[in-house]
Structure 1
Amino acid sequence: MEYIFEKIYVPRQHSFITREMELKKNTARVHSHKNFELNFILSGSGKRIVGNNISSFEKDDLVLLGPNLPHCWEIIQTEAEAPPKCIVIHFYENLITSDFFNKPELEDIVNLLRRADSGLFFSGSEIPIIKDLLKNLTHQQGLASYIGLLQIFSLLLGCEKQEFIAQTASINTGFDEDFKQINKIYEYVFQHIHEEIKLNQVADLLNMAPGSFCRFFKKKTHQTFMEYLIKIRIGYAVKLLAETSKPISEIGYDCGYNNLANFNHYFKKLMKKTPSAYRRDFR
């Protein structure tokens, strides 16, 4: 099985990001990323792949996934059903080694995250309460969001049933090497997001010619490098628009666009609205 490698952008000033997402039918692919992931199904049903496990999922299913664990949600729905949606929290990959979590009171949470290497499925009377907290978390920021997250962890620890989903993840050597190669590109992009990023410089990181690199990246991620780069730049712009009062021209520059017209063009192409409209609607 061929996997897709993803890099989830969690800004350095945050420990996690929470989003409500629509699960698209017929677009699911097995993918993997370095982040921890907490996934709650709001609506829809289908087939879930986690590591070497294939099982069904349905509304109100809640799972916690460790880093680098291949997974996929394949939707099965009829037209009469509500659009399948989920709430997803992605945690900064170094969360459990951070100073904040290096506290005796949080030791149980750290152990829970470590046990998520094979995926954990939660069920019990706590699930409806966790659902409400997750919904609130999609609208919270700052200290309120961190308090909400800790409340969720506390409830997860007390869940009546915690089941391992897959056997201990074992990734073959070829997959591991590919992951390292792709992640090297991801890290380079995040470190140089403010700058012009040239294809030949990125290809040199993997000791490849530009053409060979483009084919390799497309095969492993199912998107071109330029498509990925634009997505990351605009994703970063979305965070800055929502969380800062910086002028739009400055945000475009921070995201690597020296030309405001180009920034507006790609933002509208991806987000279906202009940066100013996005900021206005968000607030």
Structure 2
Amino acid sequence: MKASLEQLDNTLNSSLLFRQFSLPYFDAPYHFHPEFELTLIQKSQGKRFVGTNIANFKEGDLVLLGPNLPHCWKNDGIGLEGTAQSVVVQFKENFLGDSFFQTPEMSAIQRLLKSAECGVVISGKTRDRIAKEIYFLLNVPPVQKILGLIDILNTIAISSDYSVIDAQAEKHQLASIDLERINKVYAYIIENYTQEVHLEMAAFLANMTETAFCRYFKKVTKKTFLDLVTEFRIKHACNLLTQTDKQVAEVCFESGFGNVSHFNKQFKSITGQSPLGYRKLFQKL
């Protein structure tokens, strides 16, 4: 599996797209595209991957993602047709002209779009209002869709109900050739990090020798391949510790680690807490 470059469908002769999906499961791979994307989950649950961030998602999840920010949604399982439902809005920043969002009146939206480079999740009353408006806009004329999208962006921008998903995303803005190559590797890790992940396969996906790949990966991402795999595994473990009552040993093995001692060491190194200490900390919140 590799991260694919998804192109906005221009065959509809429109500058933005509202699309509704009803599937047994979300089948889009870890991918990126030059458009902004606003995604509302109508039905389903599982894991949401944005950049290097892993989070649980469920019905009502609403996120705005910036251009070329890799992402995908992975369901907990495969159900019947209609088990996974979402509405996706895609648009380019210049869909109303190169300078539209640069005007003083659009300053709040401009700041929101900048934050979206790291992905933003919308919550609370703002999310509820936006969800209703998105449903309404699915079946209105194109001009009304445009006006509705501007209102949606402004509503989010002036609210306090959104937060950044992956603050690391803007630290390493990649050239297009690096973006496609590195995201093939990210996609491979996302599909396999709870099992065995092989450096040989990652190097193959990048079309490099293992030695050249290790140097290249560290230069581009500022971390080693093993560091990234461990980071995904620890984030998965954090979700299990806070969302389930599973024992530390179960969390260890389900997160892709081979032994509990190594897991405990890596967990404390990254989070500053032992697994049990981390769980207790969140239980107090």
TM-score range, shorter chain: 0.5 to 0.7
Equivalent position of 2:144 in the other structure: 144
- Describe the shift of the 1:59–1:72 C-alpha distance in structure 2 as closer, same or farther (beyond 3 A): same
Q: Percent identity?
A: 31
Equivalent position of 2:131 in the other structure: 131
Q: How many correspondences in the alignment?
A: 181
Q: Distance in 2 between matches of 1:155 and 1:164?
A: 16
Q: Distance in 2 between matches of 1:99 and 1:11?
A: 25
Are 1:10 and 1:92, in contact at CA under 8 Å, matched by a contact in 2?
no
SS of the counterpart of 2:140? coil
Cα deviation, 1:140-173, whole Å, max 9, x if unaligned, reads 2232112211221122123332211113323666
- Describe the shift of the 1:100–1:13 C-alpha distance in structure 2 as closer, same or farther (beyond 3 A): farther
Q: What is the CA RMSD across the aligned residues, in angstroms?
A: 3.0
Q: Distance in 1 between matches of 2:64 and 2:47?
A: 16
Equivalent position of 2:54 in the other structure: 54
Between stretches 32-41 and 15-24, larger displacement belongs to: 15-24
Is residue 193 of structure 2 the alignment partner of residue 176 of structure 1? no
Q: Distance in 1 between matches of 2:179 and 2:148?
A: 37
1:79 deviates by: 4.5
Equivalent position of 2:21 in the other structure: 21
- Describe the shift of the 1:78–1:159 C-alpha distance in structure 2 as closer, same or farther (beyond 3 A): farther
Are 2:133 and 2:148, in contact at CA under 8 Å, matched by a contact in 1?
yes
Cα deviation, 1:5-37, whole Å, max 9, x if unaligned, reads 211224696331111112552734100111100
Equivalent position of 1:92 in the other structure: 92
Equivalent position of 2:45 in the other structure: 45
Q: What's the TM-score, normalizing by structure 1? A: 0.56
Q: Distance in 2 between matches of 1:86 and 1:12?
A: 20
Cα deviation, 1:59-98, whole Å, max 9, x if unaligned, reads 1111000001110001125748962111111002534862
Q: Distance in 2 between matches of 1:11 and 1:86?
A: 22
- Describe the shift of the 1:26–1:67 C-alpha distance in structure 2 as closer, same or farther (beyond 3 A): closer
Q: Distance in 2 between matches of 1:121 and 1:24?
A: 24
Is residue 107 of structure 2 the alignment partner of residue 107 of structure 1? yes
Are 1:123 and 1:160, in contact at CA under 8 Å, matched by a contact in 2?
no
SS of the counterpart of 1:153? helix
Q: What's the TM-score, normalizing by structure 2? A: 0.56
- Describe the shift of the 1:171–1:133 C-alpha distance in structure 2 as closer, same or farther (beyond 3 A): same
